[in-house]
Amino acid sequence: MIEELVKVSILIITFSIAAAKDWRTREINPSVWIPSLAVGLPLGVIKALNGLTVYQLLSIIISLVIVSSVAVLVFVFKLMGGADFLAITSFTVVYPYVQYTPFMYRWNSSMIANLSSVILVLPPIVAVLIVYTVVMTLFLIYNILHNLKHMDFLGSLETPLHKKLYIVLFHRIVDVDTIYRKRFYYPILVPGRIERRSFDVYEDDLIWREKLSDIPKGTRIVASWGIPMVTFFSISTFIYLILYLLVLLNR
């Protein structure tokens, strides 16, 4: 139990710092991830030397496949940032495999308890990504509801229906003042000026304040918010760790 508390504490501290930095600056110093890597690797090696079950070995393989896939998305296709890769890697190093197999777990009569206990039999990174998917789905719903308030603007756009649907789902309709008041908003569609599908993850949002300075205030545009992926991944990690500790304490 002490080992679990150490690992959970390290992850909570690491991801709290990372989440705050990602939200404020979208930049995270790689040194933030050193503590979790330094703690996770030795503990993982010691555990492996003491023997792992076949189920745990399978869990490691699945975790490595996920980390490798993210590495390809980051370093080959540049669809994600380096911090996203380090966040997923850091968590996976601390929890590379399931702690218990389904055969070691005694199911509870409570449905809620059983649903929470599913995290004991899933590869940890898979469980976190499932929670992450739920969190991002809630954010997507919020974004859609925001955009539906601007149906008149959508109707005025001379773009195909499928592009309008794409805007509603993945971008945000805002007034141009948002570019000046808030950080990490990137113009996607400015009628008569700009029309593109997305933005570069390494793009500087501040340059748009000068480029769009001649547009009248209140003009509505389509922008993309640079989502703080690590912040949302951190929230998902916290939810997983809370559920994980509750299950352990009730065993």
| pLDDT, tens digit only, all 251 positions of the chain | 788 889 999 999 999 999 999 999 999 999 999 999 999 989 888 877 788 888 899 999 999 999 999 999 999 887 788 999 999 999 999 999 887 655 445 555 565 556 666 667 789 999 999 999 999 999 999 999 999 999 999 999 989 999 999 999 999 999 999 999 999 999 999 988 999 999 987 899 999 999 999 999 999 999 999 999 999 999 999 999 988 887 777 66
pLDDT for res 4: 85
pLDDT for res 48: 77
Q: pTM of the full predicted structure?
A: 0.90
pLDDT for res 47: 79
Cα–Cα distance, 140 to 5 (Å, whole number):
34
